[in-house]
């Protein structure tokens, strides 16, 4: 009979012996080698006594030397610098916090479907007595936000401040604008190449980016003064923001002052040269107002009845006292700002489709052009217009909806049109009449989509050999073109400009450009 060997079972071991056994089993060869290297380092430092053999000590030293040589070899190819550059390129710059502070919107309570039980009705729809409502949950529905048009007549500016704008900010903004002295600017004298070289040196910094209005922008204007840089934008819900770009006073919210004189999108803004202390604005609420910074009021210049739901799209001065206003009804209104009446002096029904822009010839102001959803640019002679059924001097068909069409600002020998068919079209209008022809057609991606304001290419106010327009290119940019169709410069900055600037404007005398995106921010390159 074979003898039986007695073996100590695992259960009979003490707890400390079991932990020691697990530790020995779990130690991998790599861990053991690491412990040996640490012991070598401790021995070299004199912090511990070595129990390693000479071979193990020599192996650890040669390994450390090989690692050092490998690091030096790889550093010769600049891999460390390339790694740092790559990390820096993917790092996104946070949006600018200058200007208006974001307000926390109230949480919207969505409506819920109400069952017959909650309506206190039987499955057949028969009304039950009120006693049946006991112990049933009552649901409340939030009313939709209504944007009512401000009342007609003059409005006190301080009563229509918006957001974080204080009365102190308003007072300082009015003081700055009323102190500006303005002379009619002359036509630019330097050639196009020199001007493009100057503009290529402009830059945007963190101090030149600010949130000026709370919502998506629909209009942009630069004050023509050369002593101050003032930008104004209008947004989706009737807010106008005025930004003193070079103001560094924190108490003025970095120079931003916001008002609410309208209730719907503001589609056109202008600081007229003949009245630099005034700012004119019109919008979808059917009103055109003048912000008089000296009197600190918004004057009601022209309005359509609110119940008619007429949208004012654009206006242009034909003289210091008269202007033309385009409407979505296909009408153009002639308004005299000297009269106390808020109705038009004359209303011309020119089309059965909506107009978007109206532009006046700079030297022959009785000529003006309109553009809109009809897909053509029409040139008119105001002297021959009738209230109804007037005939245009010429119809320049493009084929798709047109965002804008403007006469060149100096001689009016060009018309610049921006259309949805991905074209920037320049017409030769040196001779007004049927002879107006296409001078240059430039391919340009104008597909901004539903959530971005449409591009509207804009002339330089003091020269007609170049214009500016937004771009869908990546990295984001603002494009400067010559009248010959050549791209002169792309205003870019991957740190601060990371969005599409739909609306842009060039200053008449200073080498700067301002652009605005659909979140209410303004970017200034100077």
Residues 230/208, Cβ–Cβ less than 8 Å: no
The top-scoring range by mean pLDDT among 142-146, 248-252, 306-310 is 306-310
Identify which has the larger pLDDT, 290 or 68. Answer: 290
pLDDT at residue number 5? 42
pLDDT at residue number 86? 79
pLDDT at residue number 25? 47
Go through the chain and tell me how many residues it has. 526
Domain ranges of the chain: 155-525
Question: What average pLDDT does the segment 191-212 reach?
Answer: 95
pLDDT at residue number 118? 75
pLDDT at residue number 4? 42
pLDDT at residue number 291? 97
pLDDT at residue number 11? 44
Percent of the chain with pLDDT strictly greater than 70: 83
Identify which has the larger pLDDT, 387 or 232. Answer: 232
Question: What average pLDDT does the segment 43-49 reach?
Answer: 48
Residues 6+ apart with CB under 8 A from 220: 231, 232, 233, 269, 503, 504, 505, 514, 515, 516, 522
Examine the pLDDT at 188 and tell me if it is beyond 80.
yes
CATH pick for 155-525 out of 2.40.110.10, 3.40.50.300, 3.30.70.260, 2.130.10.10: 2.130.10.10
Interval 124-161: pLDDT, tens: 888 877 765 555 544 444 566 678 899 999 999 999 99
- Average per-residue pLDDT for the chain: 86
Residues 6+ apart with CB under 8 A from 494: 475
Which segments of 254-401 are extended strands (E)? 256-259, 266-270, 278-283, 287-292, 297-303, 312-317, 322-327, 331-336, 346-349, 355-360, 367-372, 376-381, 394-397
pLDDT at residue number 143? 60
Q: With bands split at pLDDT 50, 70 and 90, how would you rate the model's confidence at 388?
A: confident
DSSP assignment of 14-77 equals -HHHHHHHHHHHH--HHHHHHHHHHHHHHHHHTSS-----HHHHHHHHHHHHHHHHHHHHHHTT
């Amino acid at each position: 009979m074979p003898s039986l060997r007695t073996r100590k079972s695992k259960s009979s071991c003490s707890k400390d012996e079991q932990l020691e056994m697990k530790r020995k089993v779990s130690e991998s060869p790599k861990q053991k080698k690491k412990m040996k290297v640490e012991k070598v380092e401790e021995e070299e430092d004199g912090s511990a006594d070595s129990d390693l053999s000479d071979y193990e000590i020599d192996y650890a030293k040669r390994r450390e030397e090989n690692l050092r040589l490998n690091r030096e070899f790889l550093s010769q190819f600049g891999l460390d610098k390339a790694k740092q550059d790559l990390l820096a390129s993917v790092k996104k710059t946070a949006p600018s916090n200058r200007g208006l502070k974001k307000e926390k919107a109230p949480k919207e309570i969505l409506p819920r479907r109400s069952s017959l039980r909650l309506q206190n009705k039987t499955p057949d729809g028969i009304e039950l007595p009120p006693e049946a409502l006991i112990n049933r949950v009552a649901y409340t529905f939030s009313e939709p936000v209504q944007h009512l048009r401000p009342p007609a007549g003059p409005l006190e500016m301080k009563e229509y401040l918006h957001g974080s704008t204080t009365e102190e900010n308003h007072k300082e903004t009015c003081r700055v604008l009323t102190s500006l002295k303005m002379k009619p600017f002359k036509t630019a004298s330097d050639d196009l190449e020199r001007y493009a070289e100057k503009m290529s040196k402009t830059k945007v910094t963190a101090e030149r980016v600010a949130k000026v209005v709370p919502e998506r922008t629909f209009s942009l204007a630069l004050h023509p003064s050369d002593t101050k840089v003032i930008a104004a934008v209008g947004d989706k819900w009737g807010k106008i923001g005025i930004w003193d770009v070079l103001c560094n006073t924190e108490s003025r919210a970095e120079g931003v002052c916001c008002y609410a004189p309208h209730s719907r999108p503001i589609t056109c803004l202008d600081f007229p040269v003949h009245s630099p202390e005034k700012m004119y604005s019109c919008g979808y609420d059917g009103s055109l107002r003048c912000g008089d910074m000296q009197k600190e009021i918004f004057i009601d210049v022209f309005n359509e009845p609110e119940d008619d739901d007429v949208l004012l799209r654009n206006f242009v001065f034909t003289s210091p006292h008269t202007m033309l206003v385009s409407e979505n009804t296909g009408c153009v209104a002639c308004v005299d700002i000297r009269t106390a009446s808020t109705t038009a002096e004359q209303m011309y029904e020119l089309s059965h489709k909506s107009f978007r822009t109206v532009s006046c010839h700079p030297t022959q102001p009785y000529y003006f052009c309109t553009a809109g959803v009809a897909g053509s640019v029409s040139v008119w002679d105001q002297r021959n217009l009738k209230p109804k059924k007037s005939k245009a001097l010429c119809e320049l068909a493009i084929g798709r909806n047109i965002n804008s069409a403007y006469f060149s600002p100096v001689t009016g020998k060009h018309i610049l049109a921006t259309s949805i068919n991905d074209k920037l079209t320049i017409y030769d209008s040196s001779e007004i009449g049927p002879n107006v022809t296409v001078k240059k057609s430039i391919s340009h991606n104008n597909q901004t989509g539903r959530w971005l304001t449409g591009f509207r290419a804009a002339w330089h106010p003091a020269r007609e050999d170049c214009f500016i327009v937004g771009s869908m290119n990546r990295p984001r940019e603002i494009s400067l073109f010559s009248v010959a169709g050549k791209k002169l410069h792309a205003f870019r900055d991957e740190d601060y400009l990371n969005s599409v600037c739909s609306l842009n404007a060039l200053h008449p005398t200073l080498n700067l450009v301002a652009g605005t995106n659909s979140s209410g921010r303004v970017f200034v390159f100077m």
